[in-house]
Amino acid sequence: MNTVDLIIDELGYKNPHPDFGAGDTVTVYYKIIEGSKERIQAFKGNVLQKKGGDKSHTQTFTVRKMSNGVGVERVFPLFSPNIDKIEVNRKGRVRRARLFYLRDAKGKRAKIKEKRFIKKK
């Protein structure tokens, strides 16, 4: 174990957010600070990618949504103190870790299938 991993374990960077990955639909509640005012803004969209190592505290994830027919992407640091909470709305069934093909996709091709869970008796 190198010194960086040792320091990260000492500081205790625990992920307070739910587990999600590429293809999932999430709502990120982000704290916006304007002067002395503070508000929380929701950003709902599909996760295109997660970047950074599993144990790394520098992980980021990219969320894409369509706003009035225009694609908007935003990169969030996972351990940012400005993220209030992350809700996973849907789990997507994809076969890739990076979904950049969604930038050019329109209509039915841009839809991500939902992961189906089978209940065991």
How confident is the model at residue 12, as a pLDDT? 66
pLDDT along the chain (121 residues), means of 10: 74 78 94 93 95 81 92 92 93 92 88 81 69
pTM: 0.81
Distance between alpha carbon 51 and the CA centroid of its chain, in Å? 10
Angle 19-24-27 (CA atoms, 0-180°, nearest 5)?
80
Pull the structure tokens for residue 24: 């999932």
Structural tokens at position 95: 């076969």
Which residues contact residue 110 at a Cβ distance below 8 angstroms, ignoring those fewer than 6 apart? 102
Contact between 12 and 34 under an 8 Å Cβ cutoff? The reply is no
Look at residue 15 in the predicted model and tell me its pLDDT: 73
Compute the distance between CA of residue 64 and CA of residue 26 in angstroms, rounded to an integer: 10
Q: Where are the domains of the chain?
A: 3-93
pLDDT of 22 reads: 92
pLDDT at position 23, please? Answer: 92
Q: Kindly report the CA angle at 25 between 19 and 27, in degrees rounded to 5?
A: 80
CATH domain 3-93 topology:
SH3 type barrels. (2.30.30)
pLDDT of residue 74: 94
Residue whose tokens read 């520098």: 58
